[in-house]
Amino acid sequence: MTTLIVNGKTYQVNASGNTPLLWVLRDILGLTGTKYGCGIEVCGACTVWIDGSAEKSCDMELKEAAGRHITTIEGLGSTTVGRKVQQAWIREQVPQCGYCQSGMMMACAALLQGGGNPTDAQINAEIDNICVCGTFQRIRAAIHTAAKL
């Protein structure tokens, strides 16, 4: 059994320590907001917070996440920065297909946790998630909006 702390709740998970965290979250805990995209840490659809930092969960093994504080998109709204990002996403009408949005929001909220208003260059350097629909301009606008909320 592995102990996971997800969105403030403690879970005992009966799975191999080599199981990707993404599949534990989705298939065992039923938290399906975190998406599978590429499986090789490139697209970012699987982004969650591990101890407050944005991490891709598709290639993180369960044993690496044991006992650490995990926040998924389902728990993002319980944080101040998460609520700001959610409000900004709505104001700027960011989603098109929406598939990447949970991971994108997690990465953007992690960028904004320290406060401040990141420049476009900082956003480009820090946010490496992929949006196939190409809503990057709306995402950038939402980051700037969230920083001002």
Instruction: Write down which residue in 60, 75, 90 finishes a domain.
Output: 75
Q: Which of 75, 101, 133 is the last residue of a domain?
A: 75
Place of tokens 């820090």: 126
The string of pLDDT tens digits covering residues 1-42 is: 999 999 999 999 999 999 999 999 999 999 999 999 999 999
Do 63 and 96 sit in the same domain of this protein? no
In tens, the pLDDT along 72-100 reads 999 999 999 999 999 999 999 999 988 99
Cβ atoms < 10 Å from Cβ of 117: 11
Distance, in Å, from the CA atom of 21 to the CA atom of 101, rounded to the nearest integer, reads 19
Whether this model's pTM surpasses 0.85: yes
The total of structural domains in the chain comes to 2
Going by C-alpha positions, the residue among 14, 70, 22 that lies closest to residue 43 is 22
The domain that holds 107 is classified in CATH as: 1.10.150.120
The pLDDT tens digits of the residues spanning 121-131 come to: 999 999 999 99
Residue 12 shares a structural domain with residue 51 = yes
Same domain, 70 and 84: no
Same domain for 80 and 40: no
Cite the beta strand spans of the chain per DSSP E: 2-6, 9-13, 47-50, 53-56, 69-71
**Spatial separation of the C-alpha atoms in residues 15 and 118, rounded to whole Å:** 40
Range of the domain at 31: 2-75
70 with 81, same domain: the answer is no
- Are the C-beta atoms of 89 and 135 separated by less than 8 Å? no
